[in-house]
Homo-oligomer: A and B are copies of this chain.
Amino acid sequence: MRQSELFTKTRREGPKDEVAKNAELLIRAGYIHKEMAGVYSFLPLGLRVREKIEQIIREEMNAIGGQELSLTALQDKTLWEKSGRWSDEVIDNWFKTKLKNESEVGLAVTHEEPLTNIVKGFVKSYRDLPVYAYQFQTKFRNELRAKSGILRGREFLMKDLYSFSRTEEEHQDFYKKTEEAYRKIFERAGIGDKTYFTFASGGIFSKYSHEFQTLCDSGEDTIYVDEKKGLAINKEVYDDEGLKMAGLKKADLKEKKAIEVGNIFSLGTRYSEALDLKFVDEKGKEKPVIMGSYGIGVGRLLGTIVEVLGDEKGIVWPESVAPFKVHLIHLAGSDKTKEKADEIYQGLMSAKMEVLYDDRDLRAGEKFQDSDLIGLPYRVIVSDKTLESGRLEMKVRASGETKMIGEDELKSL
């Protein structure tokens, strides 16, 4: 894409009320727009990144048998009354509104109830199970404060998968599969080496659960990391019982700040019993379905990548989620150089490479500053000087490494 045609532009300053590094950089670089605290629109660059992250997650969820669907935001009160979660005393961050006939509806904070109800319509016997269904859908959570940029939103996109199993064994097998799929996702998203499988509290669901926590000084969570084992435990359950369950020893642990990028929960029969989701087993006996839920906040993951990989100059995208792979930059000079830059751009487009082409009429310094801020993996310069040498100057954003490359090398980046 030609940068002259991209309608967003970079800014030197973020909004004054924005204290989070992730949102500040993403706003300055033109990826997102702040509508209000905790509510961010995704602009063209930001949407491209979000969709790449979605696609990584989608591939890994499909690989373990997930079937994608899309539930609604508006929620029928009666379903949530059955599980006892309609009350604001049980879920304290509901947004609620009303139909014209005055009946109350909620905006989905999560989707256990509606999905359990849907699955109930299709499951009668053990032959209809297991079911693994997931979606990318907006969650609405009425947070009292929202100061962490896109790490904790009032409206945010989440991948949530729910498992419906026949036996505890079948459930545990899938739980383990999801753990592995999540490892692959965070690896592919470029933060695998900073992300720990973490023993955590179960919240309202069950006594314990697991989280994936990415080390980051600005994280809201405190965890204790065993670097050798590659495991961690959340401060919430950092006591003798928790340590024993997690198989960790105090002496081996270091305290760290971290961001929760994913979680996996055993739900047991909490929702299947409340919503009457049963099946008839091989012996003709009726049993409640055993459930699990598995979440990844897509926006939060995007923001975490910005927080942990970004530097003082701006964002640093891993190639897997970058909006474009190459930032091709033309520096003002002879007409011949401009023609050459256009030609290289066309060649890369024909080769289906994802390129942002800075064809704007700006000074070199401004272009370099913008390029560092936007954070594409490879910056390639076409100037009178580089052209004379018959080579192009290429800089790797992450390492800062610079080298002169030929056009062929550029195409095979």
- A193 adjacent to chain B (CB < 8 Å): no
**In chain A between 16 and 59, which residues have their CB closer than 8 angstroms to a CB of chain B?**
30, 33, 35-36, 39-44, 46-47, 50
Nearest CB on B from A47, distance (A):
5
Q: Closest B-chain residue to A361, C-beta based?
A: B127
- A140 adjacent to chain B (CB < 8 Å): yes
Nearest CB on B from A299, distance (A):
11
A72's partner among B8, B39, B67 (CB-CB below 8 A) is B39
Interface code A66-86, partner B: CB below 8 Å = 1, 0 otherwise? 011111111110000000000
Nearest CB on B from A313, distance (A):
22
- A9 adjacent to chain B (CB < 8 Å): yes
Contact flag A73-B70 (CB < 8 Å), given A105-B36, A138-B138, A142-B100:
no
Q: How many residues of A contact B (CB 8 A)?
A: 53
Q: Closest B-chain residue to A41, C-beta based?
A: B71
A155 touches B122 (CB 8 A): no
- A131 adjacent to chain B (CB < 8 Å): yes
A42 touches B69 (CB 8 A): yes
**Residues on the B chain within 8 Å of A144, using CB:** 100
**Residues on the B chain within 8 Å of A119, using CB:** 7
**Residues on the B chain within 8 Å of A155, using CB:** 72-74
**Residues on the B chain within 8 Å of A123, using CB:** 7
Interface segment among A91-99, A303-311, A324-332, A337-345: the answer is A91-99
A97 touches B100 (CB 8 A): no
- A159 adjacent to chain B (CB < 8 Å): no
- A284 adjacent to chain B (CB < 8 Å): no
- A121 adjacent to chain B (CB < 8 Å): yes
A-B complex: 8 closest residue pairs judged by Cβ atoms:
A42-B70, A7-B131, A41-B71, A97-B97, A95-B97, A44-B67, A100-B144, A39-B74
Q: Could you list 29 examples of A-B contacts with CB < 8 Å?
A: A7-B67, A7-B128, A9-B122, A35-B72, A35-B75, A36-B76, A36-B105, A39-B72, A40-B72, A41-B70, A41-B72, A41-B118, A42-B69, A42-B70, A43-B118, A44-B67, A44-B68, A72-B155, A73-B73, A73-B138, A73-B140, A73-B155, A74-B140, A74-B155, A96-B97, A97-B97, A99-B154, A100-B144, A138-B138
